[in-house]
Every structure is written in C-alpha cells, then in structure tokens.
Amino acid sequence: MASKVFVYVDHFNGQILPASLEAIGAAKTAALALGSSLTALVLGEQTQSLAAQAIQHGADDAWVAEDAKLKDFRPEAYASVVAKALQEAAPEVFMLPTTARTRELAAMVAVDLSTGVAPDVVAFEIKDGKLLATRPVYGGKIFAKVVISQALPQIVLIRSRVFPGPEADPAKSGPVKKIEAAVGEVKSEVLGYKPSDGGVSLTDAAVIVSGGRGVSNNPSLTPPAEITDEREKEIWRAQQGFQLLRELAAALGGAVGASRAAVDAGYVPYAFQVGQTGKVVSPDLYIACGVSGAIQHLAGMRTSKTIVAINKDAEAPIFKLARFGIVGDLYEVLPALTKELRARLGK
Amino acid sequence: MNIVVCVKQTPDTAATVTVQDGKVSWGDSPLVINPWDEFAVEQALRTKEAHGGKVTALSLGPESAKEALKHALAMGCDEAVLVSDPGITAPDSLVVSAVLAAAIAKIGEVDLVFFGRQAVDSDTGITGAQVARRLGWPSLSLVAAVTALDAAAKSISVARMLDEGRQEVKAPLPAVVSVVKEICEPRYPSFMGIRKASKAPLPVWSLADIGISAPPQSALTWPEVFAPPKIETRCEVVEGDSPAAKAAALAARLIEEKVI
C-alpha cells in the first residue's frame, strides 16, 4: 500500500537542499503520527543518489522520475509529473520545503488536483487524521492555523530552518520505484543561470550580517573626484562600507543582508533585502548593523534564534528584539569584531 | 499588447495588525493597493509604453477594492474591472485563481498578465502560478527584469530571482509574470491621473458575468488566528572601554552561549 505521506525533494546543481532534508524530517513526523510510511518524490535528470540520500535521512522508499526534459526545473513540466504521481498514490499529505521552485510547483499541482496549499508552515499537528498547520501571515504579524479540509492531498510547504534536518543513516536503504515522466508540453526554456554573489543564499544561511541606513555614515572614505552629487557620494560610501559586513559574514561563513531602507537608498541590490517585502529569514545568528528596526524589517527576521544589534542609537527599536547589543559606531565595532572572531575561530 | 495586471487591496505594511475576537484587525489603518502590485502595474505600463496596446487592471474583492483599482487607473492603466459576488466568501488561492482566470478569458486576446509576487495579507505567493496553470500559459514568477520582449514573434525573456541566483527564462506569449521589487520603481499617480480615475467607469462583474455558475469553494480555511508568540528577550548590552573591548566581550559571550 502506498504511503499516506509523500515528501518532495528539491535539489539544485545535483545537490539535495538542506531545506529538503528538513522537509523529510517534518514529513516523517507526520507519517509516524498517521501510522504510515513516508515516500520521497524525486524528479530530475539523475535522481538515484538523491533518492538514496532521502531514504538515508528518513524516507522509507522513493518514487523517481527521470528524463532529459526534467534537467532544468520548469514548473509546468514538474507539476504534470508530480500531479500524476499523487493521483496514483492518493496520499493524504504532500509535504515540500518552501523554495522559489516548490512554491510554484505546489501552486500548479494544487490546481490540477483541486486542493489547497499552505506555504511557509512553521508548525503542525495531526488531529483526527487531519493536518493542522500554523503559518505566519500579514508579514509575520499574525499566525494562522490553516486546515485543508475539502480535498486531498493536503499540500504543505514547510519553511526553511524551522524544523531540524535529520541525521543520515548511511546503512539505511529502501525500494526506489521508477515512475513515468509524463512531462507533457513545456513552453518555457531555461537560457542560463547566474549564481548570486557570495555563494551563501540568505534563506539557507546560518549566520546573516545585515546593514541598514547606518552603513551610510562611513567616516573615512573620500569618493572619487568624478562623483560630485551628494547622494551618489553617500551611496558610494555605503557600498564601500558594506565591505565590512562582508568580511564579518565571511569570518562566520554567513551571508550579507540589508534593510529596506538600505536597499531603497541604493546601497545594495534588492536581492539582499530582509523583511516583509524582501526575504524572510531565520538564521541561528542575525547581526543587525546600523539597522533601526522598522516593523517591516522585524517581520522578516524576528524568528532568528539569536539577534545581535550594533547601533549608535541606544533607543533604536532593534534593541528590543536583540539578545545582545553593542551601542557604538559600526565602523569601529565591526573591524574589531571580525578580527576578534577570526582569532577565536582560528580563521 | 493586451495586458492585464491583477491587483489586490490589502492593509498597509506599516499597519499594526492584531487579533480581535478571533479575527484579524488592522484598526484604523488604511487599505491600500498591495505594495507588490504597484511594481506589477508599473511594469505593465512600461510594457505598454514600449510596445503599444492597453492595460486593464483586474481585482477580485468587495466593493471597497475599487479604491485599489482607482490607484492603478491613476498610475495610468486604461481600464479597470472588479469581480465581486456575494457568493464568494473567504476565498483561498484556488478560488481566486479560478475567478481571475475566468475574468482574463472574458477580457479575451490577452498577451501578458502581471502579478505582484505575493499579497502582504495572506502571503502565499501562489495565485499567479495558479492562474497560469488554469489558462495553460507559462508561469514566470519572481521576475526581476524583462530582458527581451518580441511582440511580433510573441515571446518574452525574463530574469527570475531564485534563492540561489538569477535564472534567464524564455517563454512564448501569452504568459503570466509575477514581479519582484527590483524590476522597476513604481510611479506616483499624477494629479491628472487621479482626476481621470475618479471619473472612469469601473464595471463590476459577477460570477455569472464571467461564466461561473456555482461559486467555487475554498479548499483551505483559517479556523484560528492568533498573535505570534511573544519573544522573551532582554537585551544584554555588552560594555567595554573601547570598540575593541566591546567586540571582544561580544565574541566571548557568543562563544559562551554556543551561538557560534
């Protein structure tokens, strides 16, 4: 008999994502509560090692679809294969990690199967055989318990870095079933790919060093003579200043983020923005430098496990959320902190 | 180009949102056009300005949602349509996408549909992809730039902002595009635009008008809403005689507490 719980394994560049492992762990919990086994669903050009890893991390078996047409993730192709597999297996729960790819995939599968989708889920319980999921709404200002009651499967996307990723058992194996890759007509074509700077994705990062408007108060640098406009000078100084954040992030193996104020002022691109209208993150450590702590920014990082605030203004709202604070000029504190951490961490 | 831009009316992101009597409340804060949708409207207008055609703003919601549509008209949209029907209560994205897809089909001969990446109230970010699926069109989500648009050959190329970087994708038209903030800077409604918007006809379509006989049912419900758990923190301000001393003290505390 097929499992009542299926979990989707998202991968990139042939690597299983940490978020996928977390989803496998969460799905295993759901499967145990429903008295069921757990099946991993893996699509791609080469899926064998990914399926084996999913099983080592807690899935009981795996269904795989392999096809050259599945080499690039294209939502319409992946959705057709996933919807067909779910129709055949008729699970009660379909769990996925929340990524850019899976959000679109789940959306389309839900249309095909006329069911509901709960993205960004941070907690769930199984009650009378139904899954009751908790997710932040209104930019995290409110939590909603949601239930998908009208149709199956209940599609649940769990948020990254909320559920623990299970340890691998290298000795564990399980059956892998090949399923038909009924891709159908695919209209879109992936032309190319450019990885983001720094290599650490904000949503996966365990440490984030974030800069706000305060980064513009760079005391030491003189912009090149060809920059005459005052605003351009400010942007130039802040952009140089972000280098200090990059160095601290590198010492901690983390990523660099920014507040909306810093992005709107043109210091760094939008891809860096953390907050209600940027990325929502929950790293182990979030170091906010020159960030005052507007409500929209707090919405995007308040679930960070430890927050450190470095700000000249002792009254900045960010200190209300922080576990540790330094009242001081980030341009004095950050180089000292980077040096100190490099020495202590042996880097 | 026949362009549709879908907009939603939401509370402002600066609103203090609370739970009162088991319901979400934003007090006296104004309802506005969903902030993401302003970028979608701007991109729709720029596409029209570059390639000709018209832009229709489309919304599903109560009568009050006309205000979000008027904002889109004031920015420069040519037409606006509200779908409103007493049969639609507490719609989930499955219902919203069914209604929007039917309305887009009624508008007819549409080349491009723009969405903001998500609505700042329900925060799901899936409606655009669901509309694309229903229409059988390509879905291009999280678009940070339209890199090429060939109206004659009916094709579009975009840069999408994924978690790991930027992906270039090409697709035939018609297509559904959801945009992120990086794509453009929304213009402010002009005084003339606001005057024009206040006088513009704003048709309201019922479900019957768009060919839906029975109100679609939500698959998903919110049986409970509540304030997020309070974060119990007292900030430990690390002291020291110099920035270096403060930095050293902080590093020591982070290591002591096993944060790093």
B250 and A110: CB-CB below 8 Å?
Answer: no
Please give the torsion angle defined by the CA atoms of residues A139, A141, A145 and A149, in that order, rounded to the nearest 10 degrees.
-40
**pLDDT at position B231 over 90:** no
Dist. CA A25–CA A4, nearest whole Å? 15
Neighbours of A290 (CB within 10 A): 29
Query: How much is the pLDDT for B196?
Result: 96
Dist. CA A178–CA B134, nearest whole Å? 28
Helix (H, G, I), strand (E, B) or coil at B113: strand
Q: What are phi and psi of B167, to 5 degrees?
A: -115, 135
DSSP string for residues in A86-149: HHHH--SEEEEE--HHHHHHHHHHHHHHT--EEEEE-EEEEETTEEEEEEEEGGGTEEEEEEE-
Per-residue confidence in pLDDT tens, chain A, 347 aa: 579 999 999 999 999 999 999 999 999 999 999 999 999 999 999 999 999 999 999 999 999 999 999 999 999 999 999 999 999 999 999 999 999 999 999 999 999 999 999 999 999 999 988 999 999 999 989 999 999 987 899 999 999 999 999 999 999 999 999 999 989 889 999 999 988 765 678 888 999 999 999 999 998 888 899 999 999 999 999 999 999 999 999 999 999 999 999 999 999 998 899 998 889 999 999 999 999 999 889 989 998 999 999 999 999 999 999 999 999 999 999 999 999 999 998 86
DSSP-assigned letter for residue A270: G
Query: How much is the pLDDT for B100?
Result: 98
B133 and A107: CB-CB below 8 Å?
Answer: yes
Contacts of A15 (CB under 8 A, 6+ apart): none
Dist. CA A22–CA B214, nearest whole Å? 40
Q: Pick A104's closest partner by Cβ from B36, B139, B248.
A: B139
DSSP-assigned letter for residue B138: -
Quote the pTM value: 0.93
**A124 to chain B: which residues are within 8 Å by CB?**
none
Mean pLDDT across B222-242: 91
Dist. CA B110–CA B47, nearest whole Å? 13
Nearest to B179 by CA among B3, B46, B36, B57: B36
Query: How much is the pLDDT for A277?
Result: 86
> Encoding tokens for residue B188?
């402010």
DSSP string for residues in A22-71: HHHHHHHHHHHHTT--EEEEEEES--HHHHHHHHHTT-SEEEEEE-GGGS
Query: How much is the pLDDT for B163?
Result: 86
Owner of token pair 């540790």: A324
> Encoding tokens for residue B176?
């559904």
Query: Testing the interface with B: which of A101, A132, A138 to mutate, by most B Cβ within 10 A?
Result: A138
Dist. CA A24–CA A10, nearest whole Å? 11
Dist. CA B165–CA B168, nearest whole Å? 10
What is the crossing angle of helices A75-89 and B127-135, to 10°?
80
Dist. CA A138–CA B226, nearest whole Å? 12
* Chain B nearest CA to A60, separation (Å): 29
CB pairs under 8 A between A and B: 267
B166 and A193: CB-CB below 8 Å?
Answer: yes
B26: nearest CA partner in chain A = A138
Query: Testing the interface with A: which of B36, B220, B242 to mutate, by most A Cβ within 10 A?
Result: B220
Asked if the C-beta of B20 comes within 8 angstroms of chain A's C-beta atoms, the answer is: no
Which residues 40-79 of chain B have a CB within 8 Å of chain A? none
Name residue B74's amino acid: A
Query: How much is the pLDDT for A198?
Result: 59
Contact yes or no for A88/A63 (Cβ under 8 A): no
Query: Testing the interface with A: which of B115, B124, B135, B161 to mutate, by most A Cβ within 10 A?
Result: B124
**A317 to chain B: which residues are within 8 Å by CB?**
none
Dist. CA B80–CA B4, nearest whole Å? 9
Dist. CA A165–CA A160, nearest whole Å? 10
Which residues 31-90 of chain A have a CB within 8 Å of chain B? 75-76, 79
Query: How much is the pLDDT for A199?
Result: 60
Could you report the predicted ipTM of this complex, rounded to two decimals?
0.95
Contact yes or no for B78/B54 (Cβ under 8 A): yes
Neighbours of B237 (CB within 10 A): 14
Helices (H), A217-345: 230-251, 260-264, 295-301, 318-321, 330-345
**pLDDT at position B74 over 70:** yes
Mean pLDDT (chain B, rounded): 96
**A333 to chain B: which residues are within 8 Å by CB?**
243, 246-247
Asked if the C-beta of B90 comes within 8 angstroms of chain A's C-beta atoms, the answer is: no
* Chain B nearest CA to A173, separation (Å): 30
Owner of token pair 């623990």: A164
